[in-house]
Structure 1
Amino acid sequence: MKVLYVFEEIDAGERHQLLGMVDHGLDVRVICDPAAKYQDDLRRAGITVEHIQWGGRIDREAIARVRAIVLHEKPALVHVFVKIALSNVIRAIRDLPPKLVAYRGIVGNLHWLNPSSRRSFLNRRVDAIICVCEAIRQDLLANRFLGWRVPMEKVVTIHKGHYADFWRKPPLRLSDYGVPGDGPVIGCVAQMRKRKGIPALIHALEQLENPRARLVLVGDVADREVARCIRQSPARDRIHQLGWQDDASRIAGAFDIFVLPALRREGLPRAVIEAMCQNVPPVVTRAGGSPELVEDGVSGLVVPPGDADALAGALGSLLSNPEARRRMGQAAEQRIRECFTPERTVRETLALYEKLTGWRPAQAAPALAQQG
């Protein structure tokens, strides 16, 4: 069966999934941004890659390109991984045969009265929506207005899998980024929007009994409150902002504790997965899919969102107990290795494809997805 996958960027989990689909006999075609990662890996596996840069939710040139590709390739199914592409693909194949699968990676921000939502995920042309965590699925099912709703049979949860060994690279030295090595390091990797809850993390740092604990923030800052909190914090000399870093995952591998203090709308946060793969114990909030990743008290700690006191308590308990950090770090890596595998993602996605098209996958060939 031929499947056309539509991306903007391609992340490591999607790379693993695409190569796994080839292993199971799918004839895979990919549309992505010209600068997307992992294209050489895809081509080596025999995957044809086309380039489209999405100019907006209604990009007439892109719509014509997609329609021409679908008419020529005749895929049985089109699987779209990015919202900006989804509205264009819907227009491109509105009257064509392929089944349409959409990927949803974030909670909320869909409304039946919003034309953008009705032209994308809430559009009837979408045959199935894959939710990267159960929290997203439940949010979609609860999204109702008058008689409008998403049918339950259209929505499925499939966690995006990662190979733990893919992220197990030597951690970078924090001293190279100006972080002194005189105490334990609490770290966060995120695009720091308001919903990421960074001010609560700063207030939690201030409450810690350990005066040598440092906080490292990696990522672009889009919340002005972060700068204000740092400026006014009595712990400001122990807070280090590294900005966006290409090697963020290797920096996270050097943390003693990884924290994602999100307030809402999380999907299945990749930064948490990357840290867990490197034996770094995570502290997360009950926001979106984070509690689906982390078993509270086993592979990390889970606290209420926006609660600086609870966050400080969780961080303090791990800082004072190196053995607990070691044990939870090992359990975190084991959880990703056993429960969030690309093989499981591929298997569950193929089951959905079979339901939509009747096509049955072949036995997997030697695992191309694990190479590299």
Structure 2
Amino acid sequence: MSQKIKVLAVTHHGRKNINPIRPEASQIIGMHKSGLVDVTVMCNPGSTLIPFLEAEGVKVVTDPLDKKVSIDTIRAIRKYITENDIQILHLYNNIACSNGCFAAIGTKAKVIAYRGQTGNISRFDPTSYLTMLNPRLDKIICVAKAIEVDLQNYIWGDKGKAVTVYKGHDQSWYQNPPANLDHLNLPEDSFKLSLVANLRPRKGLHVLMDAMKLLPDDINIDVLLVGADPKSEKIQQMIARSGKPARVHALGYREDAPEVAASSDLTILPTTKREGLCRAVLEANSYSVPSIVSDTGGNAELVADGETGIVVPPSDAEALADAILKLYNDRQLCKQYGVAAKQRVIDKFNVEQGVEATLKCYKELLS
């Protein structure tokens, strides 16, 4: 039996996520279970990853990982690389990347970074050379083909440094019953739309609210905003913008976001720019809930337009309203899209393909 590949994966999660399940944890666990990799994870103390990893026997070491460049963190990563003959240093976010690249200088470790969205990079921005344009990187694993293509516009030299590996989702994560929404007192037979996101401006809440305003006044639709703070003045102003404030519900932070999506008829992701491969869409689809997404980043790779959902132009409220109305008026088509969406996740975005593609990258770098 050939010797296992020695991997140090470095990641940091400094804030809560709407859904605590992390696809990178399943990828790491899958590599561990393959028997081909000896993987250790370095993450911040209290990371939401730790319970998932330790339950599967993955070794975890901790470091604050709280600065873009930290001498102490660089020393800790370098010490682990040299003392454990690490062959692959896999860096899952920008803090990990900037520190890890410095730590790997002068070592034999091959260095891989993770790229989760388009945009926000420039050859003229010095900070880009701490992360995606760092010359110490040997590979950059992009979560969607659109991200790979976008990144190739900025990479110096070998464009093949960027490769695509889709996130892996396990259907066993999505067996809980839909969230109970009785406290909202929604009208009978309400057609429920969910938007699950940390609501930065680019997530397009304003586009959805403008689309709501274009829909008929008597339409029986309710919008569930997971991640929207109901006490926020900006959120309340945005809800008023819909023209139907009584039908828009800010649910705040929810750890059962996938179950809220499961309780809806349709999920919406109207991102205006810089999207990756949205986990919230994959979660909803795994519950047979179809999606309407904007054509930015990896969205059009997630949703097969006219088969598993609808893809609309970004920032186009009228197109979004038309798409919502189409599925509102044809509930059978909506359900058909949902069934097909679940099958697409099973076929194309499963854990096994993500693990296999990642292991292929490791082997190619070490060959």
Structure 1-normalised TM-score?
0.90
Aligned to 1:367: none
Q: Which runs of 5+ in 1 are unaligned?
A: 359-372
1:206-225 correspondence to structure 2 within 5 Å: 206-209=213-216, 211-220=219-228
CA distance in 1, matches of 2:41, 2:158: 28
The question of 1:344 aligning with 2:353 is answered: yes
CA distance in 2, matches of 1:163, 1:224: 37
Amino acid of the structure 2 residue aligned with 1:23: K
SS in 1 for 2:211: helix
Deviation readout 1:158-182 (Å, 9 max, x if unpaired): 1111012312311111223x25243
Deviates more, 1:30-39 or 1:341-350: 30-39
Aligned to 2:133: 122
Percent identity of the aligned residues?
35
SS in 2 for 1:78: strand
1:1-372 correspondence to structure 2 within 5 Å: 1-9=5-13, 11-25=21-35, 26-143=37-154, 149=156, 151-176=158-183, 178-182=184-188, 183-209=190-216, 211-220=219-228, 226-358=235-367
**Residues 50/271 of structure 1: CA separation in 2 closer, same or farther (3 Å cut):** same
Deviation readout 1:131-186 (Å, 9 max, x if unpaired): 00011111111226xxxx2521211011111012312311111223x252431111
CA distance in 2, matches of 1:93, 1:117: 18
2:228–2:253: 8 Å Cα contact kept in structure 1? yes
Over aligned residues, Cα RMSD in angstroms?
1.8
1:8–1:33: 8 Å Cα contact kept in structure 2? yes
1:273–1:336: 8 Å Cα contact kept in structure 2? yes
1:12–1:162: 8 Å Cα contact kept in structure 2? no
Amino acid of the structure 2 residue aligned with 1:219: G
Amino acid of the structure 1 residue aligned with 2:141: I
Instruction: Point out which structure has higher relative CO (alpha carbons under 8 A, 6+ apart).
Output: 1
Shift of 1:220: 4.2
1:32–1:51: 8 Å Cα contact kept in structure 2? yes
Deviation readout 1:105-128 (Å, 9 max, x if unpaired): 011111112121111110110000
CA distance in 2, matches of 1:44, 1:110: 37
CA distance in 2, matches of 1:136, 1:224: 34
Q: Which runs of 5+ in 2 are unaligned?
A: 14-19
1:6–1:79: 8 Å Cα contact kept in structure 2? yes
Shift of 1:281: 1.0
CA distance in 1, matches of 2:192, 2:309: 16
Amino acid of the structure 1 residue aligned with 2:83: H
2:43–2:65: 8 Å Cα contact kept in structure 1? no
CA distance in 2, matches of 1:125, 1:224: 45
Deviation readout 1:46-96 (Å, 9 max, x if unpaired): 321001122211112211111111121111110010111110111112111
CA distance in 1, matches of 2:228, 2:260: 15
Shift of 1:191: 1.1
CA distance in 1, matches of 2:49, 2:43: 11
SS in 1 for 2:360: helix
CA distance in 2, matches of 1:233, 1:272: 23
Structure 2-normalised TM-score?
0.92
